[in-house]
Amino acid sequence: MVTGASRRVGTRRRSAREGFTGGQRALLVSGCLVNIGTFAVYPYLAVLLRDRLGVGMAQVGVVLGVATLVQFASAPFTAAFAERIGLKCCLLVATVVYGLGAVTYLVGAEDPVSTVLALFLSCGAGALYSPAYRGYLVHSATAGQRPKVLSAGNAAGSLGIALGPVVGAVFLHDPGRLFAMTTALYVVLAVGHCFLRPEGAASSPAEVEPFRRVLKGLAGLPFAVTVLTHYLYMQFYQYLSPFAEDRVPTAVFGVVMMGYSLVVVAVQPLAARRVGRVGYPVAIAVGSCCMALGMVAFASGRVVGLAAGVAALAVGTAVLFLKNDLEALAGSKRSATVTFGQQRLAVGVGALLSGVVGGAVYGLFERARLLPGFWLAVAAQCLLLPLLLVVARRSSRTG
């Protein structure tokens, strides 16, 4: 005989299998809002830093690269820290640090040191938030549910990334209002995270990762492909803004950047199951070719070219970002939170390379007055570097 309690338990279990828990839904909303605050600023950081620091793009690239590396390189340790103090608590701390960064941007408008400090505070907040965010989403998900949950988390974040540049474009010429708004947003998010349910047994003391082991057990190929993916992708985010500054209106650029993320929002959840089933080399090939097409389109410097470029790039990165994380989870014996922290380290290495190498190359093309050639050079790398990586991996296995 089936009791009412048994039916209610069965209903909850079916709901968990078919949809998302209340905590997951709340966190998806928060992930979107966090990225609105972050990406209202991030695409314009190259311009902001250049104006406040009074230096060239090569120096700006180094600052961006180092700051982003600090954010992502610390992620394995912040992931272990999140498991130690609890994912909910870590998310709350991260939103508070985000708010401190926004306040520092606001009060340090005329002080280059304060601007750099604000950048590093924001990067530190991201290092705390991202592994805990993804770890919270998947801590109760089965292997079969992971593509759906991860793609939903990525889509929520991408929606925030879509809306953020438009907000930033509106307030770009009035940074005080922009940073006042982001400060208020993070205060609201901090209060909201207080009501998030603790994740429960996923962070029990027996499962907490020691800090000394956070770098062990890397999933080699996914880690390397993630480095390469973000080395190429971050050049789009770091250098398209100064490239487009005198070519298209700022508002139009903001809409184009929003379009990139909206395409990711649309593509990734729809393709999640197929991306989960397809072989890794095929996903790498498809994603890299789409990224190359996008970079070639950017070289035109026109609105149509930028729009076509972000559409192609969005498809490529939607495939690669999801597949890289799925392959890392499948190939790692570590906890999901620490695995995501390791993947964030890979993102940081790629971002550092993008800042240091990409900034220097951008500066060379800028001095030669051949800036469209920069995007063609990046497109060539999109085609050649992944191929060389896969070939080198196979050779090392057969050698």
Query: Is residue 356 scored above 90 in pLDDT?
Result: no
Look up residue 56 and give its DSSP letter: -
CA distance 291 to 235: 11
Q: Exposed, middle or buried by CB within 10 Å (0-12, 13-18, 19+), for 333?
A: exposed
Q: How confident is the model at residue 43 (pLDDT cuts 50, 70, 90)?
A: low
Query: Is residue 83 scored above 70 in pLDDT?
Result: yes
Q: What values do phi and psi take at 299, rounded to 5?
A: -60, -25
CA distance 259 to 237: 13
CB 317 within 8 A of CB 275: no
CA distance 176 to 102: 10
pLDDT in tens, 203-218: 444 455 566 666 676 7
Strands in the chain per DSSP E: none
Q: Which of the given ranges, 19-28, 63-72, 281-290, 355-364, has the highest pLDDT on average?
A: 281-290
- What is the end-to-end Cα distance of the chain in Å, rounded? 62
Q: What global pTM score does this model have?
A: 0.69
Tokens 């500066």 found at: 363
Q: What values do phi and psi take at 196, rounded to 5?
A: -70, 140
Q: How confident is the model at residue 139 (pLDDT cuts 50, 70, 90)?
A: confident
CB atoms within 10 A of CB 366: 17
Give the DSSP letter string of 228-277.
HHHHHHHHHHHHHHHHHTTTS-HHHHHHHHHHHHHHHHHHHHHHHHHHHH
Look up residue 197 and give its DSSP letter: P
Q: Looking at residue 187, what is its pLDDT?
A: 93
Q: Looking at residue 305, what is its pLDDT?
A: 92
Tell me how many degrees the CA angle 114-102-166 measures, rounded to the nearest 5: 120
Half-sphere CA count of 20, side-chain side, radius 13 A: 19
Tokens 């729009």 found at: 307
State the amino acid at position 74 in one-letter form: S
Is the model more confident about 399 or about 74? 74
Mean pLDDT of the chain: 81
Look up residue 210 and give its DSSP letter: P
Is the model more confident about 226 or about 134? 226
CA distance 223 to 332: 11
